[in-house]
Structure 1
Amino acid sequence: MPADTNATTGPAALQGLATEPGVPKPDPILVGDKIKRSFGGLTAVDVGHIEVQRGAITALIGPNGAGKTTLFNLLTGFDKPDSGTWSFNDQSLSGVPAFKVARRGMVRTFQLTKVLAKLTVIENMRLGATGQRGEKFLSALFRPLWKSQEDEITRRADDLLARFKLDTKREDFAGSLSGGQRKLLEMARALMVDPELVMLDEPMAGVNPALKQSLLGRVKSLREDGRTVLFVEHDMDMVRDISDWVIVMAQGEIVAEGTPAQVMADERVIDAYLGAHHDTDLTELDHEAVQAQAEAELDEEEAKHDD
């Protein structure tokens, strides 16, 4: 996927934009309006407007409990908002389940990796591909119908494993990988869908220093391929190193936007981390309660869908 050289696309198009929350972008790939999510009496997300620039790397930062991961879950169909609308490539994603969001070209990874530990690395990669004829019951009985497609999927998987320096782990069980290697595998598997937008939830969490540079390089390479990246991260060195644009959340709201240099000097950001907002962050127990309720509600919705 070659990078677009259009003047309205990519990092260059962000130069000179205002630093106000929800500032319009020249070529947004993802747009959200009035997105709200509450758990009991606690408002976890209350985002008036958000836009993500196509072809750029955007960081979503904020103190613990700011609502970053909850917003990720809402945008990607892993949770449902109380209200709000959002679109990807001008197509509404409101009410679209997570697996269909991924098929449309918007994929995400998780803070806690979701690799299938008892499958090998190459098997995990093959599962990432969509539209496999061999997954249908009748077709599965006749190998000639899907053998050539599976061979092509395997070639693509091997190319990605080599690119992510996981080819030597090809036949290892995913459960035997280190935390950093699992992050790399999850990112590589996400690319099996050939997505336009890759959303990374704390890609550096739990990664040892030896693998951090490798991960940073892989994230940068996504932009070089012409893809868009939106990531949640607490590592400010990473944010400064690779971000083209930064969106700051506090208490569920977007409080500031801008280039890394602009954001780091913004009084609203300093306040969000160290001032008034800092005093009202969620406690660890509050955060666990919110997460538990979200998971319970999602399970209930899945049960209704299964019925």
Structure 2
Amino acid sequence: MPADPIPHGASASGAGTPAGDARSGGWHSGDAPLRLAQTALRDVPWEVGVAKPDPVVVVDGVTRQFGGLTAVSVDHLEIQRGGITGLIGPNGAGKTTLFNLLTGFDQPNSGSWTYDGRSLSNLPPHRVARLGVVRTFQLTKALSRLTVLQNMLLGAQGQKGESFLGALLPGWRSQERANTEKAMDLLQRFKLDAKKDDFAGTLSGGQRKLLEMARALMSDPKVVMLDEPMAGVNPALTQSLLGHVKDLREQGMTVIFVEHDMDVVRDISDWVVVMAAGRVIAEGPPESISQNQAVVDAYLGAHHDAPLTVEEEDRVLAEASQAIAREEKVDGEVLQSDGTPRGETDR
């Protein structure tokens, strides 16, 4: 059985154990959610489909096929609450398709999944977001002809002025002011406040990633799913994005992110899930992944750096000899008895 994920007297968000309290092992301010996630997963076996101490998202038997191709086939997967879970795998492994399924942008052929015990199956994206599960995209979805601030305001939930009747009643203006203040606070945090009146289309690729992440936080989500947040971002902004992802965990959110850069994965992940050919082939802490032969083979191919055994080497040589013999036989058949190629007439 895994160890108790929450030290005595601490809450899941880290509140309840004073920073630096001797009973907490000398934690510092902002460390509690990180330590809680790591403690919760510390004794979890490195097995595919393993149960987590406090799962917030649970996937069961989800499959998605496109014609004859099975893009996703996940038997069972649990995501630990309050931690950062990295989802990795070679191109075409099904990572983004799984994101699309979990957030309502696509529907599976079979299976179900839950968030906080509530089924998300067959829910459209806007209802999934209202429940607290939001995502960003590998190719950012900022509305280019709206300003940065207007893009932010689109992410606010339950805006009274959006309905005809609500717009006629008092109160929506104060809500609009509160949303604007919240948006400006987030823009300042993401170093985009100076761009608030610029069109989103004028931002750099990295700034658009920051805007999309900031806009996602306007809805006060509980689970944030980031699809390759570092892709196409220059090194100067990469560290800033990494810091913001870690901050999400410090605020008690659950983060699931797709990434190819293993240095990034090792830096910020509490747990890593590896996919290949639509299936989950490995789970474990970051340090366990490089030790897993199935993961190494999925990325680099079997025997990529291991010498063949004597038996395997003999078999490969025998197959090569047979292939050469077949080629020589075919080449011999296309020659005439006198050795000239068939179809060639005397000159």
TM-score, structure 2 normalization: 0.77
Task: State the alpha-carbon separation in 1 of the partners of residues 13 and 261 from structure 2.
Answer: 29
Mapping of residues 98-137 of structure 1, within 5 Å? 98-137=125-164
Task: State the alpha-carbon separation in 1 of the partners of residues 258 and 293 from structure 2.
Answer: 21
In 1, are the aligned partners of 2:33 and 2:252 still within 8 Å (CA)? Answer: no
In 1, are the aligned partners of 2:13 and 2:82 still within 8 Å (CA)? Answer: no
Deviations 1:23-80 (A, max 9, x none): 1100000000000000000000000000000000000000000000000000110000
Indicate whether 1:162 and 2:188 are aligned.
yes
Give the Å deviation of 1:235.
Answer: 1.0
Range moving further from structure 2, 227-236 or 133-142: 133-142
Task: State the alpha-carbon separation in 2 of the partners of residues 153 and 90 from structure 1.
Answer: 30
Number of residues of Structure 1 aligned to a counterpart in Structure 2: 277
* Partner residue in 2 for 1:59: 86
In 1, are the aligned partners of 2:141 and 2:212 still within 8 Å (CA)? Answer: yes
Give the Å deviation of 1:9.
Answer: 5.3
Task: State the alpha-carbon separation in 2 of the partners of residues 3 and 162 from structure 1.
Answer: 25
Task: State the alpha-carbon separation in 2 of the partners of residues 239 and 48 from structure 1.
Answer: 24
Mapping of residues 191-206 of structure 1, within 5 Å? 191-206=217-232
In 2, are the aligned partners of 1:250 and 1:277 still within 8 Å (CA)? Answer: no
* Partner residue in 1 for 2:249: 223
Task: State the alpha-carbon separation in 2 of the partners of residues 2 and 277 from structure 1.
Answer: 45
Task: State the alpha-carbon separation in 1 of the partners of residues 222 and 36 from structure 2.
Answer: 13
Give the Å deviation of 1:267.
Answer: 0.7
Unaligned runs of 5+ in 2: 1-11, 16-31, 305-347
Give the Å deviation of 1:139.
Answer: 2.6
2:273 to 247, 269, 272: 247
Task: State the alpha-carbon separation in 2 of the partners of residues 189 and 202 from structure 1.
Answer: 16
Go from structure 1 to structure 2 and tell me whether the alpha carbon gap of 1:6 and 1:245 turns closer, same or farther (over 3 Å shift): closer
Indicate whether 1:74 and 2:101 are aligned.
yes
Give the Å deviation of 1:175.
Answer: 0.6
CA RMSD after TM alignment:
1.9
Task: State the alpha-carbon separation in 1 of the partners of residues 130 and 33 from structure 2.
Answer: 26
Give the Å deviation of 1:145.
Answer: 3.3
Task: State the alpha-carbon separation in 2 of the partners of residues 31 and 132 from structure 1.
Answer: 30
Give the Å deviation of 1:138.
Answer: 2.8
In 2, are the aligned partners of 1:164 and 1:184 still within 8 Å (CA)? Answer: yes
Task: State the alpha-carbon separation in 2 of the partners of residues 203 and 78 from structure 1.
Answer: 18
Q: Could you say what secondary structure the match of 1:193 adopts? A: coil
Q: Could you say what secondary structure the match of 2:105 adopts? A: coil
In 2, are the aligned partners of 1:85 and 1:94 still within 8 Å (CA)? Answer: yes
Q: Which of 1 and 2 has higher RCO (CA within 8 Å, sep 6+)?
A: 1
In 2, are the aligned partners of 1:11 and 1:55 still within 8 Å (CA)? Answer: no
Task: State the alpha-carbon separation in 2 of the partners of residues 111 and 6 from structure 1.
Answer: 27
Go from structure 1 to structure 2 and tell me whether the alpha carbon gap of 1:171 and 1:277 turns closer, same or farther (over 3 Å shift): farther
- Could you say which structure has the higher helix fraction? 1
Task: State the alpha-carbon separation in 2 of the partners of residues 264 and 199 from structure 1.
Answer: 24
Task: State the alpha-carbon separation in 2 of the partners of residues 8 and 220 from structure 1.
Answer: 12
TM-score, structure 1 normalization: 0.87
Give the Å deviation of 1:276.
Answer: 5.1
Give the Å deviation of 1:8.
Answer: 11
Give the Å deviation of 1:3.
Answer: 3.5
Equivalent position amino acid for 1:69 in 2: T
2:40 to 8, 13, 23: 13
Give the Å deviation of 1:11.
Answer: 2.5
* Partner residue in 1 for 2:292: 266
Task: State the alpha-carbon separation in 1 of the partners of residues 118 and 166 from structure 2.
Answer: 32
Unaligned runs of 5+ in 1: 279-307
* Partner residue in 2 for 1:190: 216
Range moving further from structure 2, 73-82 or 7-16: 7-16
